[in-house]
């Protein structure tokens, strides 16, 4: 398929598909050493590229390299460290015994906010081997 060939039925169908979905193909020069535009850069009609350049790759490839800038900032990923306990060393009986004597097990309050707060504080004050994260 060659989208740059006016008599290639598949290229014409692709161009019509781009039009139907509001897409634009930006590369207007040959991207292959034997001619034709085989490598495409497709964006929405409302996205503008800048500095589009098609460079020869010499002996590395028979395709040319396409370089361009998009008007979007690069978003840095946030790295989150997640730690969790080694469940194979978890002693359920000791855990149950520790919870049984905690205020969480003995309170008679029906205040949901207080109970959530008590749950969180109890979990934070457990013996280190019973805490859910280490």
pLDDT at 129: 67
The boundaries of the domain holding residue 38 are 9-69
Whether the pLDDT of residue 38 is over 60: the answer is yes
Residues 44 and 18 placed together within one structural domain of the fold: yes
11-20 pLDDT, tens digit each = 888 889 999 9
Is 91 part of any domain?
yes
Residues 46 and 91 placed together within one structural domain of the fold: no
Whether the pLDDT of residue 42 is over 60: the answer is yes
Give CA–CA dist 36/126, Å, rounded.
69
Whether the pLDDT of residue 3 is over 70: the answer is no
Residues 48, 53, 57, 61, CA torsion sign? positive
Whether the pLDDT of residue 133 is over 60: the answer is no
Is 77 part of any domain?
no
pLDDT at 2: 59
């Amino acid at each position: 398929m060659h989208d740059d060939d006016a008599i290639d039925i598949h290229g014409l169908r692709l161009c019509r598909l781009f039009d139907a979905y509001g897409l634009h193909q930006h590369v207007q020069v040959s991207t292959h050493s034997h001619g034709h535009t085989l490598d495409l850069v497709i964006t929405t009609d409302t996205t503008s590229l800048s500095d589009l350049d098609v460079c020869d790759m010499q002996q590395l490839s028979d395709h040319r390299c396409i370089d361009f800038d998009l008007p979007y900032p690069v978003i840095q990923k946030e790295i989150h460290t997640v730690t969790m306990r080694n469940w194979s060393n978890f002693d359920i009986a000791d855990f149950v015994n520790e919870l049984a004597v905690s205020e969480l097990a003995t309170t008679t309050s029906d205040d949901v906010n207080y109970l959530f707060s008590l749950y969180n504080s109890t979990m934070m004050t457990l013996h280190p081997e019973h805490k859910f994260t280490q």
